[in-house]
Every structure is written in C-alpha cells, then in structure tokens.
Amino acid sequence: MRRNSYISSLTENQVLSYILRSISEGKNEDEIAERFDGDKELVKTWVDTLKQVQFIVTNCFDELVVTPDAKNYLEKYGDSIIAGYIPTPSI
C-alpha cells in the first residue's frame, strides 16, 4: 500500500493532536484509521498510549472519550501543533 505523503510527513505531536481531536469529535478507531491510510495498528498504538497517560478513557458505552487533561492540552496546544508549530513552554 502506498502511504499518503501528507500522513507520512506528520510529526508525532501532530498525530497525537489529530487523534485526540478526532476522539473529542466522537470518531472511533476505524474512522480515525481511514485518515491514516487504513493503518489500524498505528491508531491502536496511539490509543493505547493515550489511555496509559490518561488522556482518553473508555466509557460505559465502550466509546473513547477524552479526559479533562486532554481537553486542556488541545485547547492550549492542539491548533498550533496540528498547524505545524510546536510552541515552546513559557518559564
């Protein structure tokens, strides 16, 4: 399978932000994987990682849901990271 050049050029932070944003919009793993050329393994790996850091959880309806910490992250950095600019934290 030929990989989409847009997808293969994304940074890890951009992938993380895209997946978080997609989950916050109610998309499931299969819908997100479509955007990543059907790479379900990539999406599953990120979902598992985001669960470990408690940025997403599975609710009682077996749906993925972003946590308040993840919402704060998206509000603070999401648009900048997706656009390709990674802000430097202020000290």
Nearest to 36 by CA among 8, 78, 13, 14: 8
DSSP state of 59: -
In the predicted structure, residue 89 carries a pLDDT above the cut 50: no
Looking at the domain assignment, is residue 18 inside a domain? no
Residue 49, domain extent: 27-82
Q: How many domains does the chain have?
A: 1
Looking at the domain assignment, is residue 77 inside a domain? yes
What value, to the nearest 5°, has the Cα angle with vertex 43 and ends 14 and 8?
50
Looking at the domain assignment, is residue 63 inside a domain? yes
Which CATH number covers residue 59?
1.10.10
Looking at the domain assignment, is residue 6 inside a domain? no
Nearest to 13 by CA among 81, 88, 90, 87: 81
Looking at the domain assignment, is residue 78 inside a domain? yes
pTM of the predicted model, to two decimals? Answer: 0.76
Tens digit of pLDDT for each residue in 19-69? 999 999 999 999 999 888 899 999 999 999 999 999 999 999 999 999 999
